[in-house]
Amino acid sequence: MTMKMTVMAPFPGLYKAAQEVIEERAAELISEINVVLLNPMGTGVIEAEKEIAKGAEVIISRGYTASCISSGVEIPVVHIQVTALDIMQALGQVSDEHKNVGVVGFSGVVYECQRAGKILGISIQELLIEDEIESIYEVIKKAINTGTSVIIGGASAAGIAIELGIKGILLESGKNAVYKAIKEAEALVLARRKDSERTEKINKIIDSSADEIPASSKTAIASFEDVARREMLDRNIKQRLHGKGWIAKMTLDQFIGSSEKIRSLKIRTRKFARTDSTVLITGESGTGKEMLAQSIHNLSKRKAGPFVAINCAALPPNLLESEMFGYEEGAFTGTKKGGKVGLFELAHGGTIFLDEVGEMPLPLQSRLLRVLQEKAVMRLGADCIMPIDVRVIAATNQDLENLIEEKTFRKDLYYRLNILRLYIPPLRERVDDIPELVESFLRHFAHLNLEVKGINPRVIRLMQLYSWNGNVRELSNMLERAMLLSIGPMIEEADIEELLPLKAGHAEAMTVPKNYTLQEMESEAIIQMLVSEEFSYTKVAAKLGISRTTLWRKLKGLRIEK
């Protein structure tokens, strides 16, 4: 059987190197290798899934792209390592006037860089992102603030460096590194095939010999058989999951925002992801609770396992129970032949996300509590329990403590869910993130209207005055409609007047004269808010999503006096 693999190249240099390796060393390779040049703005996961559908048994890539693909697919991903020679070639592009150089990457990329820097007499700062403590953007920005003037790294890192106004050098991978990765991938596929053949032989021996084995030895055989069948079930479930979409596609880097509240949220999220404890995510509708849950999964040791999500408010109680816990054939009228696997079983080895958990009926809360306590599940109509290895992430936009007082939510379940807690602030409390969110959404919706090239800064300021009851989801929907309606080249006030009705106390902002500067407009808006709130600086600061100290600085800078 032909061995198939794919090299996913995030930049043209790696694509060219891979093609040359395949051509030059064809006699030494035992596999059929496809090479794909990726879109520099993508993660490569979608392209990898297409290659898997064509029969690829292993993916080969590098750096951040390899990490993203590894989080999103079930087959192995081999990372192309960067050699000292590769780093020295990149350092050779550093001019004499640049004294401080930062090399961005995972430890497998940057571990040789300081040694190479000493050889060339260049001071090197290693900017590790292996644990994803911060996004690539944040790592580079912090390095610049400490004096770094050149960034060496992958396509993403080099591009971000240039965007931030410093020199960015692409760290290429030489042909020798590519060849080593291909040979490692071939060895990996061969080992996996041998392991699969060995498991199949064991199962055949068990099936054919069980009847002839003495009764005293059949506990041991049954136990071994259960383990083998459990492993086969795991593999079958994982194969089906991709067809049903039980995978987490979002990462924390896609959770847009760099305000103080969001930076703090991301730090806590990364810390919590390292554990296996239950997490409760709270926040208003539209703030991105499922995105955060997917990010936790992809940052955790369970990232190769399934991510199963269910909305507890979307199904009637009887259907919700059968979906969550599954059922045996004949458990009730209308059951499927052979029964049904529940979502907790499907999530074995991974994460289950219970959205709107506050809407779960009390009887189901009792069953969920038992699953959390016993780490086992019993299907409807069954007489035995099945051990499961599942991490639970729950989310709600309700105040569960109030629900406990109202006797609609179990206190003991609340304590089980509220081991680790993450609160996502509403958009009106982090309006400084709106420009960044708008930029991201405009890129995402660019295909809807090629005439639109940007957005008037005055429009963004108006957005920062809006209350956003639907939060980030509402902002996304509004920008999608604005892109469809705008005649370009910029989205103007007229494009959003009907889409963005300001709430009471903000309506005057829509009548600001069009010849106002952005500073004059901001000054006018703050004055109106101060008057409407009877000069309560605490209330105005809260509406603007800033601290009282920041408000005082703004008032001073805009020369606003009481």
Residue 128 belongs to what H/E stretch? strand 123-128
Decide if pLDDT at 107 tops 60: no
CATH 3.40.50.2300 intervals, the chain: 1-80+174-229
pLDDT exceeds cutoff 90 at 292: yes
Range name among 126-140, 340-354, 387-401 with the lowest pLDDT average = 126-140
Average pLDDT over residues 472-492: 89
Looking at domain 1-80+174-229, what is its CATH homologous superfamily?
Response regulator (3.40.50.2300)
Delimiting residues of CATH 3.40.50.300 domain(s) in the chain: 252-423
What are the residue ranges of CATH 3.40.50.10660 in the chain? 84-170
Specify the CATH class of 428-557 in words: mainly alpha
| All residues at 6 or more sequence positions from 536 whose CB lies less than 8 Å from its CB, including other chains | none
Residue 349, pLDDT > 80, answer yes
Q: Which amino acid is at 91?
A: L
pLDDT, the chain, mean = 80
The full DSSP string for 288-339 is -HHHHHHHHHHHSTTTTS-EEEEETTSS-HHHHHHHHH-B-TTSSTTPPTT-
Predicted confidence at residue 438, as pLDDT, reads: 93
- Across 57-71, 142-156, 236-250, least confident range: 236-250
Q: Where is pLDDT greater, at 15 or 554?
A: 15
Higher pLDDT, 394 or 331: 394
pLDDT digits (tens, 9 = 90+) for 510-535: 444 445 565 666 677 777 777 767 77
Please give the Cα distance from 173 to 108 (Å, whole number). Answer: 12
Choose the most confident range, by mean pLDDT, from 98-107, 123-132, 240-249: 98-107
pLDDT confidence of residue 508? 40
436 pLDDT above the threshold of 80: yes
Residue 113 has pLDDT above 80, yes or no: no
Report the CATH fold assignment for 84-170. Rossmann fold (3.40.50)
> How far is the C-alpha of 34 from the C-alpha of 316, rounded, in Å?
47
Q: How do beta strands 391-396 and 123-128 pair?
A: unpaired
pTM value? 0.52
Q: How confident is the model at residue 114 (pLDDT cuts 50, 70, 90)?
A: low
pLDDT score, position 207: 59
Whether 40 shows a pLDDT value over 70: the answer reads no
82-91, 110-119, 142-151: least confidently modelled range: 110-119
State which fold the 252-423 domain adopts. Rossmann fold (3.40.50)
User: In this predicted structure, what is the pLDDT of residue 506?
Assistant: 42
Output the pLDDT for position 211.
52
- Give me the pLDDT at residue 315, please: 79
Residue of 92, 100, 116 whose CA lies nearest to 166: 100
Convert the pLDDT of each residue in 182-232 to its tens digit. 988 888 888 778 766 766 666 666 556 555 555 555 474 445 545 555 555
At 247 the three-state DSSP class reads coil
Q: Which part of the chain has CATH 1.10.8.60? A: 428-557
